[in-house]
Every structure is written in C-alpha cells, then in structure tokens.
Amino acid sequence: MDPFDFRSIECNGITLRLASVGEGPLVVFCHGWPETWYSFRHQLPAFAEGGFRAVAYDVRGYGGSSSPWPVEAYSLKNLTADVIGILDALEYDRAVVIGHDWGGPIALSTAVLYPDRIRAVGSLSVPHTVRGPIPAIEHWRTIYEGRYFYQLYFQTEGVAEAELEADIRRSLYLTYCNFDARGTARMLAEKQSSAKAPHPDSCFLETMHEPEGFPDWFGPTDLDYLVGQFAVSGMRGPLNRYRAQTIDWHELPQLSNVLDQPACFITGTLDPVNYFLFSGKPKRSRIEKHYRDLRMFELLDSTGHWTQQEQPAAVNALLLSFLESLD
C-alpha cells in the first residue's frame, strides 16, 4: 500500500477515504459490489505514470468511508454528490470519472447530473442505460417471477447481511471466484448440460460453486485485505445500493437522458452481467443509442466480471488510449 496516499475528506455529510497517486488532471475511480478502492490497485500507478492524478475511493458503506444506516442514503443522488465532493475537496473544477460494476452507474450518473464537472466517463462491465418505464426492481420481479434472482434476494433488509457476514472470508472468496472468467465458464457449461436451476427461495451463497484454489488474478493476500475492510464496514451499506434503485427511479428523471460526454465501455466476454442485461455478449449497436459520443467499445476475451483486476494491463492500455483521445 506504500505507493498510495491515503486521506479522508468530509463531503455530503459523510467521510470518504481516498487512495491517490500522481499529479495532473484528475481521474476518479468508482468501485462496485462487493469491493473497495482496492479493486483499482493496478490502475492507480499506471495512470500516475501517464500524467494524471489518480484517485480511487471507498464508496460510502465500504471500508474506511462512512456507513450510513438508511437505505435512502445510498441513492444515486447521494452517491453522485459524493463524487462531486471529491472534486471539491481536491480543488478540481473538472475530472474524468471511471467506474466498475455499481461504480459504472455512479460514474455515468454523475456525468449526466453534473455535465459541467465531468469531462469524460468510462465504465467497466455495466454500460450506460437510460431510465426505464418502471423501476428496475419491478422489472426484475416480472422477469424472474417464480425464479431466483440475487437482486430480489437482496431486497429484504437483514437477510443477505446475516448470510454474508456469518463468514466474510468465505462469502468474498465465493463471490470473487464464481463471477470471474473461470466461474462464468463453469456456469455456462452447467446451463448447457441442463443442470438444476437455483430454487426460488435459495440464499445467495447456495447458488455458488466451491472452486479449487485461487485464480491467477486474485490470491490469499488480496482476500486478506478485503476481509479486513468488510470486517469494519459490514454488508448493510453495500447491499443498500440494490435497495435504493426504486428511489433513484422516482428521484432522478434526468437519468432518461443520453450521455453527452466522450465515453468508453469495456467488458469481458465472460462477464455474467452480459447474460442478464443482454442474454449474451453485448453489441455496440444495442448500447450506443444511449451515448452521444461513445468513442470506445471493447470486449476482452476470456475475461469475467472483475474486468480491471482480471486484465489490468489491457484495461490500463485501453483507458489511457481513451484519455488520449480527449481534447
């Protein structure tokens, strides 16, 4: 951790912990679930070497940042205000913001809501999509009626927390190892072999496969660090992001807008998000209607959900190339 400068800032009524390195134009990295600033450990040095001030932070509810209790504290209105709070605290008028998983919608929504502050935006795993005709959770309830879907399981406060916090190490290990390239390939093979689908009343970890050892991109030291972070924060804040989606739909009709800023989207061919958003690999023609200036669309072969951790060199090269395209 020595190369990084850690500091805490006060913004939007809470404390956020930042990890930063480098000097120059600001790039802010937003992580997803269940991660911390640490998911961008491979990006920060590369961007600093590229001439940027690179900052990854613990999203509220995670690690060293505040963990408010109410579900509404995790709305996109609040999460995007946190990003702007980082710009203000570091005294930058504008920045590039890049997000992965839930960090993607945080980054993209910040660009939509604060167009004068965000000069460009990138997302990994999750592309920009406009606000639907009904809240996302209502959509998933219709699509998955009578079937298991993890986002529906997460809705009841306290249930998933109890399951995941009972053994944080095992919960994180299974989550990381089931949704990378190796885990998704296994899942797809099981579907093709007509393996039994999860019971509608399954718990989250019941749907997981017990892997053999660690993958090559994620090891015991990484897991140790994350376990320590979630031992502090717990899982309520991270899970509340899933529960706040209906609040977003009612609070932010602006999210019906296309994205104006220069943008890039990178995902893996074996990212499971592709299969519930697109029923397969995403196509540029399907998502670019939501962008005014989609400058980069990249599919990384043999890459699962943890895009920038599984393929750090490729992701760094692509993102830095995207930034070079900006005025």
Active site residue 139: no
130, 141, 107, 126: which is closest to 30 by C-alpha? 107
Are the beta carbons of 108 and 299 closer than 8 angstroms? Answer: no
Examine the residue annotation and report whether 180 is marked as an active-site residue of this protein: no
| Count of Cβ atoms closer than 10 Å to residue 22 Cβ | 21
Distance CA 194, CA 41 (A): 38
pLDDT tens track for 170-190: 999 999 999 999 999 998 887
CB atoms within 10 A of CB 61: 24
pLDDT > 70: what percent of the chain? 98
From 58, 101, 180, 271, the catalytic residue: 101
Going from the C-alpha of 20 to that of each of 8, 26, 234, 289, 315, the distances in angstroms are: 11, 10, 24, 34, 19
Instruction: Determine if the peptide bond prior to 34 is cis (ω within 30°).
Output: yes
Stated pTM of the model: 0.96
β-strand 95-100 against 263-268: which pairing, if any? unpaired
pLDDT of 188 reads 86
Domain ranges for the chain, please list them: 5-324
pLDDT-wise least confident of 100-114, 118-132, 189-203, 242-256: 189-203
In CATH terms, the superfamily for domain 5-324 is Alpha/Beta hydrolase fold, catalytic domain (3.40.50.1820)
Residue tagged active-site, from 31, 100, 128, 305: 305
Work out the average pLDDT over 212-220: 96
The C-alpha angle with vertex 74 and arms to 68 and 80, in degrees rounded to 5, equals 115
Helix extents (H) in 95-243: 103-113, 136-143, 150-153, 159-165, 168-178, 181-192, 220-233, 236-243
Whose CA is closest to 242, among 315, 119, 155, 177?
Answer: 155
CA distance 106 to 72: 15
Q: Is pLDDT above 70 for 9?
A: yes
Three-class SS state of 126: coil
Cα 262 versus chain centre, distance: 20
Average pLDDT over the chain, rounded to whole?
Answer: 95
- In this structure, how many other beta carbons lie within 10 angstroms of the beta carbon of residue 254? 11
